[in-house]
Structure 1
Amino acid sequence: MVTAMKNFLKFKTGESPDVRKFGEEYYLREAKIWRPFRIGGVFSIAIALPLALASILHDNWMYGDGIAAKECTGNDRPYSTQWPLGFRGGMWDTCFQMDNTSVPPICIEDSVQRWQKAVIGLMIFSASFGFIASILAVCGVCTSPLPKKIYYFHSAGEIFLVCAISTGAALIIYPVAMESNNSSSAHQYGPGYGLGWGSAFFFLAAAFCMSLDDLMMDSSLVLVLLVVTPLCLADNSATVPMTKTHTWSGNFEGHFILPITHGDLIGWEAIITFNVPVTDIQQYVGTVKRTSSDNKIILLVNKADKGIVKQGSSLDIQIGGHYTGSTEPTATADIVDLSFDSQVVPTVVDADGTKYNYNEVMMKSILFYEAQRSGKLPPTNRIPWRGDSALTDHGDNGEDLTGGWYDAGDHIKFGFPMASSTTLLAWGLLEYKDAYEHSGQLENMYDCIRWPLEWMLKCHTGPNELYVQVGDGGPDHGYWGRPEDMTMARPAYKITANRPGSDIAAEYAAAFAVSHLVFKEKDPEFAEKLLTHSKQLYDFAVHHKARYTDSVNQAAAYYRSDKYEDELTWGAAWLFRVTNDTKYLNWAEQYYITANMAFMALLAADVGIHPDQYRQWARSQIGYALGDTGRSFVVGFGTNPPQRPHHRSSSCPSRPSPCSFADQQQPGPNPHTLYGALVGGPNGQDQYTDDRKDYVSNEVACDYNAGFQSAVAGMVMV
């Protein structure tokens, strides 16, 4: 079954909710055959199948007395003389069989027989597939490789769920058909019908028992069981035996050799199952994460410098140890490839007939921002290789500073570009809301910009106090790994009346002001909160003038501000548009943002400034990014897109494999596709190389995508 295969592959990647939540403990506890729920599953199967068979063969699904027979046939003859004992009918009967007579009446019409055929078909379907599921469950009990065991159990559970639904449908259809021909007061449902409900109940019990255990009692499993998604993935995962075994004086040595045939291996784990207890394990390519209590199962994860194996070569896990007794050890290793991408992105149909599917670009650009999220991710997280991160980010007095976006390919949260990006995205939504609605991305876009807004609100901890950065560039750039695994200190930096920053305070104010307009109808309370903070921050900016990088030196090397007047004008312009207060008009002068000129060109065209010229120029800029040169510069979109963006988390294999600078250096594609990310692009000579180490041409950033995405939204409406 497709869903079970997907669940199995999610288990392998470490991306399924149960594995991500409980880690290696899951593997070791799942290895036990006779878990409490497994016992319940076997018991339920043993009852469900006989009940289903008995129900199908039973000759009494409905019955009645003599009065019922009269009401059924419409015969006026005394029921006591013609039908003294009444009638009964099985599921297969085309008419009710009358007791004590050889001439049963024809009391079921042809239309009802069609209902009966549906009931019969559903019941036989349930029994047949219940038998198949039982075989899978037996295979799960008998097999030893752990991933296969889980695959068999969960496949059986899914099929039993289908059987329960099918049986229930049959038992609902049957009385619907019969009620049209028989008075509900004139008959009753017999033992055969009751046996059917019994089989449905035990099929359902078997479904949950074969799929659930005490580590998976959450609603995510129900979703996995009910949602069927096509999946076609190939990787290097395989079960291999221990070979080249050599034993001496209670010691052993052997090899697990896996040929690498499906692309480079970038991270692996091995679940090694021995036939006898082993101790004093010695090996040099991995880290022993867990050992079962009986010393028969070992969970081994590659060391940071031993996870990459080239296609065409082989992974060789040489292992040794000690055993007791006369039985020599044998073993199998379920080696799991942690280097493939488990994310499935929906197909977006291009109904507009444009050269590029702008609706797809918008959808994937929003996914990029979701991949940049910091903090505790919501249940709606659509990026399977991302998890909760930086949950201890806090201010000087313990203020909660979790959330927001990681700036680029690193894990610093820079307030200046985050506020600017939010402003441009919100402005694009304000101007081109119809485009987001047309593409089916409106709700995702609201959710997209709300994420940084919530963080920026947290950062405004007082009228004249604003946190503007979390994380230090030095230690952060010295770390190549997942944000979920960060352990370095993450200091927070703020501006105050004594150490001001007019530019960044005004940029926050602008983001809040334009977002007030975006959320004014959707969430009035949130919109008013944004406006209140916008006014306070702008007052802070104009009354305490300074460049923020003069107050926060840690930001100067990355996002230095040359002057603050342009941000003061920018913030004032938006506040004037929101409030119509002339004090803001006095600050508002001509403004522009050079980094996102395609978006600006479309806005200029929309208000009548050289519309044809600017629209054509904007179209050429977007076309250049999407593939006019023969290659796309947007990850996961178009022809020959970047596969090696300078981006830490997408370059790491799936957990629990470690991630290090070795993953930055490996020449293959990133294990995870960073959909929608716009890379830096060609140099001044129009040259580009898809090189992960090139942080100029191949890094991604939130501000790169902001104007780009808004411009694409504008193209939808051209």
Structure 2
Amino acid sequence: MARKSRHSPTFPSFSLVFSLLFLLTPPLSTAGRHDYGDALRKSILFFEGQRSGKLPPDQRIKWRRDSALRDGATAGVDLTGGYYDAGDNIKFGFPMAFTTTMLSWSVIDFGKSMGPELNNAVKAVRWGTDYLLKVTAVADGVYVQVGDPYSDHNCWERPEDMDTLRSVYKIDRAHPGSDVAGETAAALAAGSIVFRSRDPAYSRLLLDRAVKVFEFADTHRGAYSSSLHSAVCPFYCDVNGYQDELLWGAAWLHKASRRREYREYIVRNEVVLRAGDTINEFGWDNKHAGINVLISKEVLMGKAPDLKSFQFNADGFICSVLPGISHPQVQYSPGGLIFKAGGSNMQHVTSLSFLLLAYSNYLSHANRAVPCGETSASPALLKRLAKRQVDYILGDNPLEMSYMVGYGARYPRRIHHRASSLPSVKAHPARIGCKAGSRYFLSPNPNPNVLVGAVVGGPNISDAFPDSRPFFQESEPTTYINAPLVGLLGYFSAHP
């Protein structure tokens, strides 16, 4: 990818002001109606519907049952547990680790605002970290995927009925994967912060493992989509390269351990690992905007003048996503939704909005705003922009549809999700075979099981949405859409 400019863009102030007024003003018919606490509860509940393995006694989504109880057996290891990433039955380690990192960041920054839902958010983190401990238990390697994606995608069946190949894929010295290993180290380190006071022994275990996994990622460099191309591409192919995950992992390890070696690593590798690239990208594949915002917190607190360039990049990120700037990579729909090219747009909406909110808090504590050309972006403005995106998801949009399943009067009923769209085991105890599920996939009927809290890929650039299973880019929910949203909803539930 081409290197992006490190200079904040300039633009006509009138365009910016007009765009901000439009995009930050909610529709009169829906303004102020949202129950963010209810949406928060549901956004966390969704993760229980994505659980793999042996379900605990306090499982709240009752139409799900135990599944994939022999995962890892072909490799002689226990790889049960974790999350299915989306509407299929594969456990992809790269997006699962990112999901865990973002759930942890949500708790770290916004847990104090979550009230009674904080405990459920912490449980969601632990379901992820427990699994990541299993996949990293081997020396000099990480198990990064369970399930053959081609076999799985050839079927439409419940996770409880799975008879597709549960192949196990691993990175090691000969087959490196610094991207997925770096993200896994970040997730373990972030999780260690969540449990630092709640469970000190578990926290130490997570941090110690994060250190080892990061060392492996850094020592044996390479992209996992090169080592395991046939298994991970085109599903979660690392298009952006592994360099950002090394910086991301080091940033979280520094935050978790306070060890000087990680700070020195960041300073030493900032240019080599391209910290200033694609500053308005943030998701399971590209961590650049997240790295800059995360590291900037210390800079804004006056503790890290040697990391000032990361704050400069973070400011550039803010300017590049403000409405009114004609930036080729960040657009807004007529209804005011952040839109980036590619599938599952809501992943960009929630992740970028999370960064807007997190950075606005860091700026508030430092009593500063972001200079953007002829104007400046205040912390309050960034909060309003993030809130406008959340409100769009919850129903303040041209279709007046909530894109969170189970929230509001109108929401997607035919989501691209196997377990939700097939009759539950309780309703239909007999096994439903690989191809027998096709009639449910093609049915015009609503899904029989409501996957409460699931946020789908969302509408297109014109705010249009087909509530139809075959349109998977719009109708499929993912864990990495919801994970940043947990933090956003936590904050707005306490600061509506």
- Alignment TM-score > 0.5, same fold: yes
Query: What does the per-residue CA deviation read over 1:46-101, in whole Å, with 9 as the maximum and x for residues that have no partner?
Result: xxxxxxxxxxxxxxxxxxxxxxxxxxxxxxxxxxxxxxxxxxxxxxxxxxxxxxxx
Could you tell me how far apart the structure 1 residues matched to 2:170 and 2:46 are? 27
Which residue is 2:422 aligned to?
Answer: 652
Secondary structure (helix, strand or coil) at the match of 1:624 reads helix
Verify the 8 A CA contact 2:148 2:164 in the aligned structure 1: no
Deviation, structure 1 residue 528 = 0.6
Task: State yes or no: 1:713 paired with 2:468.
Answer: no
Rg (Cα) greater in structure? 1
Secondary structure (helix, strand or coil) at the match of 2:75 reads coil
Which residue is 1:42 aligned to?
Answer: none
Deviation, structure 1 residue 655 = 2.2
Which residue is 2:69 aligned to?
Answer: 391
Could you tell me how far apart the structure 1 residues matched to 2:73 and 2:167 are? 8
Query: What does the per-residue CA deviation read over 1:496-535, in whole Å, with 9 as the maximum and x for residues that have no partner?
Result: 0110111111101111111101001111111010001100
Which residue is 1:592 aligned to?
Answer: 289
Which residue is 1:493 aligned to?
Answer: 169
Deviation, structure 1 residue 639 = 3.3
Could you tell me how far apart the structure 2 residues matched to 1:375 and 1:397 are? 17
Deviation, structure 1 residue 376 = 0.8
Verify the 8 A CA contact 2:103 2:124 in the aligned structure 1: no
Query: What does the per-residue CA deviation read over 1:564-600, in whole Å, with 9 as the maximum and x for residues that have no partner?
Result: 1111111111111122222211333554249311000
Which residue is 1:685 aligned to?
Answer: 462
Residue identity matched to 2:254: F
Residue identity matched to 1:556: C
Output aligned runs, 1:273-672, within 5 Å.
355-394=33-72, 397-436=75-114, 438=115, 440-553=116-229, 554-561=231-238, 562-588=240-266, 589=270, 591-593=288-290, 595=348, 596-608=351-363, 609=369, 610-629=378-397, 630-653=400-423, 654-656=427-429, 658=432, 660-672=437-449
Verify the 8 A CA contact 1:599 1:714 in the aligned structure 2: no
TM-score by length of 2: 0.71
Q: What CA RMSD, in Å, does the superposition of the two structures yield over aligned residues?
A: 1.5
Verify the 8 A CA contact 1:415 1:504 in the aligned structure 2: yes
Query: What does the per-residue CA deviation read over 1:405-445, in whole Å, with 9 as the maximum and x for residues that have no partner?
Result: 01100000000000001101110101111122x2x112211
Secondary structure (helix, strand or coil) at the match of 2:207 reads helix
Secondary structure (helix, strand or coil) at the match of 2:388 reads helix
Deviation, structure 1 residue 396 = 5.1
Residue identity matched to 1:602: L
Deviation, structure 1 residue 663 = 0.5
Residue identity matched to 1:538: F
Deviation, structure 1 residue 478 = 1.1
Secondary structure (helix, strand or coil) at the match of 1:592 reads helix
Which residue is 1:343 aligned to?
Answer: none
Which residue is 1:45 aligned to?
Answer: none
Could you tell me how far apart the structure 2 residues matched to 1:525 and 1:579 are? 14
Residue identity matched to 2:221: K
Which residue is 2:471 aligned to?
Answer: 694
Could you tell me how far apart the structure 2 residues matched to 1:665 and 1:411 are? 18
Query: What does the per-residue CA deviation read over 1:16-60, in whole Å, with 9 as the maximum and x for residues that have no partner?
Result: xxxxxxxxxxxxxxxxxxxxxxxxxxxxxxxxxxxxxxxxxxxxx
Deviation, structure 1 residue 634 = 0.5
Output aligned runs, 1:106-145, within 5 Å.
none
Secondary structure (helix, strand or coil) at the match of 2:265 reads coil
Verify the 8 A CA contact 1:500 1:545 in the aligned structure 2: yes
Verify the 8 A CA contact 1:459 1:467 in the aligned structure 2: yes
Could you tell me how far apart the structure 2 residues matched to 1:685 and 1:623 are? 17
Residue identity matched to 1:619: K
Residue identity matched to 1:631: M
Q: Which runs of 5+ in 2 are unaligned?
A: 1-30, 276-287, 291-346, 364-368, 370-377
Residue identity matched to 1:407: D
Residue identity matched to 2:79: L
Residue identity matched to 1:392: R
Aligned residues: 364
Could you tell me how far apart the structure 1 residues matched to 2:458 and 2:446 are? 17
Residue identity matched to 1:372: Q
Could you tell me how far apart the structure 2 residues matched to 1:681 and 1:586 are? 41
Verify the 8 A CA contact 1:414 1:470 in the aligned structure 2: yes
Verify the 8 A CA contact 2:421 2:447 in the aligned structure 1: yes
Could you tell me how far apart the structure 1 residues matched to 2:48 and 2:390 are? 22
Could you tell me how far apart the structure 2 residues matched to 1:504 and 1:475 are? 22
Query: What does the per-residue CA deviation read over 1:658-691, in whole Å, with 9 as the maximum and x for residues that have no partner?
Result: 3611001110110010100000001123211111
Secondary structure (helix, strand or coil) at the match of 1:469 reads strand
Could you tell me how far apart the structure 2 residues matched to 1:709 and 1:543 are? 34
In structure 2, the CA distance between the partners of 1:396 and 1:671, relative to structure 1 (3 Å rule), is closer
Moved more, 353-362 or 596-605: 353-362
Deviation, structure 1 residue 354 = 5.0
Secondary structure (helix, strand or coil) at the match of 1:407 reads coil
Deviation, structure 1 residue 484 = 0.5
Could you tell me how far apart the structure 2 residues matched to 1:568 and 1:691 are? 39
Could you tell me how far apart the structure 1 residues matched to 2:185 and 2:462 are? 38
Verify the 8 A CA contact 2:35 2:493 in the aligned structure 1: no
Task: State yes or no: 1:675 paired with 2:452.
Answer: yes
Could you tell me how far apart the structure 1 residues matched to 2:412 and 2:175 are? 42
Deviation, structure 1 residue 492 = 0.6
Residue identity matched to 2:89: H
Deviation, structure 1 residue 395 = 5.5
Verify the 8 A CA contact 1:432 1:717 in the aligned structure 2: no
Residue identity matched to 1:655: H
Residue identity matched to 1:624: Y
Which residue is 1:312 aligned to?
Answer: none
Verify the 8 A CA contact 1:509 1:537 in the aligned structure 2: yes
Verify the 8 A CA contact 1:568 1:587 in the aligned structure 2: no
Query: What does the per-residue CA deviation read over 1:350-390, in whole Å, with 9 as the maximum and x for residues that have no partner?
Result: xxx95311111111111110000001111111111111110
Moved more, 535-544 or 580-589: 580-589
Could you tell me how far apart the structure 1 residues matched to 2:358 and 2:205 are? 28
Could you tell me how far apart the structure 2 residues matched to 1:354 and 1:434 are? 23
TM-score by length of 1: 0.50
Query: What does the per-residue CA deviation read over 1:151-186, in whole Å, with 9 as the maximum and x for residues that have no partner?
Result: xxxxxxxxxxxxxxxxxxxxxxxxxxxxxxxxxxxx
Could you tell me how far apart the structure 1 residues matched to 2:380 and 2:111 are? 22
Residue identity matched to 1:605: S
Q: Which runs of 5+ in 1 are unaligned?
A: 1-352
Could you tell me how far apart the structure 2 residues matched to 1:489 and 1:537 are? 27
Query: What does the per-residue CA deviation read over 1:217-262, in whole Å, with 9 as the maximum and x for residues that have no partner?
Result: xxxxxxxxxxxxxxxxxxxxxxxxxxxxxxxxxxxxxxxxxxxxxx
Verify the 8 A CA contact 1:573 1:587 in the aligned structure 2: no
